[in-house]
Amino acid sequence: MNQRRNGSHRDPVILDLDETPLPDAPVPADAPPLSGPGLTAAERVLAATRGRHLSGLARLFWVSLSGLVLLWAGLSLNNFVAGLIASRPWAGWLALG
């Protein structure tokens, strides 16, 4: 598997990161605040809420609620289509193609 079509193969490459250290990444908290006359209302709201995170329980609540709403919507659509096909046979034949 390591051989190419012409019979040669490549050895693994080893990178030594200690010789050339990577520069430190900038921290978002150190960024200058977003303010000024050019900001729209939406940008001001986003700037004010920047950095806020939901707790684990709040995130679990919203994910669970979203899942239940999507489950309800999917089952409702399924029941609607099944009822439509059951009450109108031509719709069933149309669905079959």
Domain-wise residue ranges, the chain: 28-96
pLDDT given at position 3:
53
* pTM of the predicted model as reported, rounded to 2 decimal places: 0.45
Alpha helix ranges (H) inside 11-55: 41-48
Q: Which residue positions in the chain have pLDDT lower than 50?
A: none
- pLDDT per residue as tens digits for the range 26-39: 888 787 776 666 76
Task: Give ∠ CA 90-91-95 in degrees, rounded to 5.
Answer: 115
Could you count the other beta carbons within 10 Å of the beta carbon of residue 85? 16
